[in-house]
Structure 1
Amino acid sequence: MRNKTITAAVLAMAAPLPFAAPAFAGDCMSGQEMPNALSGAPTTPKDVTDTVIGSIDLNSEIGVAGRLLRTRRLVVQPGGIVPIHSHKGRPALIYTVSGTIVEHRSSCAVPIVHKAGDIAREADGISHWWQNEGTEPAVLLSSDVFKQP
């Protein structure tokens, strides 16, 4: 009987897990999710390299015409900037490989700090810009789905 009770308790605790939303390190702090106009945001890149390291035509893979899935490697030098841009119709996941980078997001009142090992979810039409305020390069892997030019 004891084993059945333990099994039932474990199943009860685990049951909600498949339905829980994933937590992303480096998300907007609780209570700070609100519109941010990002006034004065930079519009020109500074000290950043952006290299496409692979892409897949989603039409031939899963029948999504006119869209590519690509992965890029970005290196943002200290003081470097990825200028303001939108993710309307271009969802992405950004993995911080090394260094630290600060994100200024249209849906967060305060800057978001991303450290090595963090992943940022960029979707739902957000706009944002990034800046390396640290002393070492920030290396990011960006995977996004976008319309072919």
Structure 2
Amino acid sequence: MVPESKGITAKILSTVDLGPEIEGMASRQFRMRMFTFEPGAVFGPLHDHKDRPGIVYILQGTITDHRNGV
């Protein structure tokens, strides 16, 4: 069973509509968001980023990331 998210706040910092910038990217968006995780927070449910790449930068603390069932 995959737990739901808890202890997380999210703030959208910026968005870029990719349609006018890149051919074939209509209705696609690049978003920059800042997440704040409280101690013991859970980011769920499980999801993937197939055809939707993401970048994570940790400003402070440690995050455990589980991928492919590991």
Structure 1 and Structure 2 fold alike (TM over 0.5): yes
Q: Give the CA RMSD over aligned residues.
A: 1.4
Q: Does 1:94 align with 2:56?
A: yes
Larger Rg: 1
Identify the structure with bigger relative contact order (alpha carbons < 8 Å, sequence gap 6+).
2
Amino acid at match of 2:63: I
Find the counterpart in structure 2 of residue 13 from structure 1. none
Once residues 72 and 65 of structure 1 are traced to their aligned partners in structure 2, the CA distance between those partners, rounded to angstroms, is 21
Determine what percentage of the aligned residue pairs are the same residue: 35
Greater share of residues in strand = 1
Q: Does 1:48 align with 2:8?
A: yes
Once residues 106 and 95 of structure 1 are traced to their aligned partners in structure 2, the CA distance between those partners, rounded to angstroms, is 20
Deviation of 1:88 (Å)? 2.0
Deviation of 1:87 (Å)? 1.1
> Secondary structure at the residue paired with 2:52?
coil
Greater share of residues in helix = 1
4+ residue runs over 6 A deviation: none
Q: How many residues align?
A: 68
Deviation of 1:50 (Å)? 1.2
Q: Does 1:82 align with 2:15?
A: no
Find the counterpart in structure 2 of residue 71 from structure 1. 32
Q: Which runs of 5+ in 2 are unaligned?
A: none
